[in-house]
Amino acid sequence: MKNHYKFELEPLPYTYDALEPFIDAKTMEIHHNRHLQAYVYNLNKALCGYEYLHSWSLEKLICNADRLPADIRQAVKNNGGGVYNHNFYFDGMSCSAKMPNGRLWAAITKTFGSYENFVTEWKKQALGVFGSGYAWLVSNCGRLCIMTTANQETPLTRGQCPIMTIDVWEHAYYLKHYNKRADYIEDWLQVINWEKAEMNFLKTVDRHTF
Ligand code: MN3
């Protein structure tokens, strides 16, 4: 994946209909091919006149937004966050979701008491996002917690390492689930890419404990 200017629309690792019946093909197509495409386009548009920023990674742009020229700062925050968050969200789903049994699973059951408790807390947080945003499972030095971000803010700017995320902007579910975010969250729980989440978790554990 190209991780600096000129940013590109990263193809999904599955087809648009792969997550049926939980997430419908039309929602996936519009979400990826229009919403994410617009974030990519607008991020490039903001950066195009600033050659010295063309080698900066997406993470560097997001984490150093305060160092950016004032006239593009908000556009890079919004659209850079939009690209980062959507890539994370799309990569974090799978049509062949297997229940986990690795170190993340052990950490989840240890932190929350049980998988059921984790799901209860996850639903509460994802439902509680007022307006548009995301719920995240994050790791801080290997310690798990669930957090939310508004609009296109990322956990990176709060020093948290993301493990998995659910996009709760209405465009992520409105065509199929209408206003019923709880039903969408329930369906999303069926398509978590646990292998990817495990990989993300191991990266944060390795970084801090070895
Ligand atoms: Mn979205």
Orientation of helix 194-209 relative to helix 103-112, angle to 10°: 80
Work out the number of other CB atoms within 10 angstroms of the CB of residue 141: 11
Cα 210 to ligand 1 centroid, rounded to whole Å: 35
Closest by CA to 192, choosing from 126, 128, 113, is 126
Contact in structure between 175 and 27 (CB atoms under 8 Å):
yes
Cα–Cα dist 69/169, whole Å: 28
Residue 50 is classified by DSSP as -
Cα 181 to ligand 1 centroid, rounded to whole Å: 14
Is residue 136 helix, strand or coil?
strand
Q: List pLDDT tens digits, range 64-86.
A: 999 999 999 999 999 999 999 99
Cα 208 to ligand 1 centroid, rounded to whole Å: 31
Distances (CA, A) of 123 to 1, 42, 63, 77, 93: 31, 32, 28, 27, 17
Cα 113 to ligand 1 centroid, rounded to whole Å: 31
- pLDDT of 125 over the 80 cut: yes
Closest by CA to 24, choosing from 175, 192, 186, is 175
Cα 179 to ligand 1 centroid, rounded to whole Å: 15
Cα 209 to ligand 1 centroid, rounded to whole Å: 33
Find where tokens 């978590």 sit: 192
Residue 132 is classified by DSSP as S
Cα 111 to ligand 1 centroid, rounded to whole Å: 28
Average pLDDT over residues 150-175: 97
Tokens representing 78?
A: 């919004």
Cα 193 to ligand 1 centroid, rounded to whole Å: 17
Q: List pLDDT tens digits, range 20-64.
A: 999 999 999 999 999 999 999 999 999 999 999 999 999 999 999
* Complete DSSP assignment for 183-195: HHHHHHTTSB-HH
Cα–Cα dist 174/166, whole Å: 14
* H helices present in the chain, as ranges: 25-30, 37-47, 58-63, 70-91, 103-112, 115-128, 174-177, 181-188, 194-209
Q: What is the pLDDT of residue 210?
A: 40
Cα 35 to ligand 1 centroid, rounded to whole Å: 7
- pLDDT of 205 over the 90 cut: no
- pLDDT of 130 over the 70 cut: yes
Cα 12 to ligand 1 centroid, rounded to whole Å: 14
Contacts of 37 (CB under 8 A, 6+ apart): 9
Cα 110 to ligand 1 centroid, rounded to whole Å: 31
- Paired sense of beta strands 133-140 and 143-150, if any: antiparallel
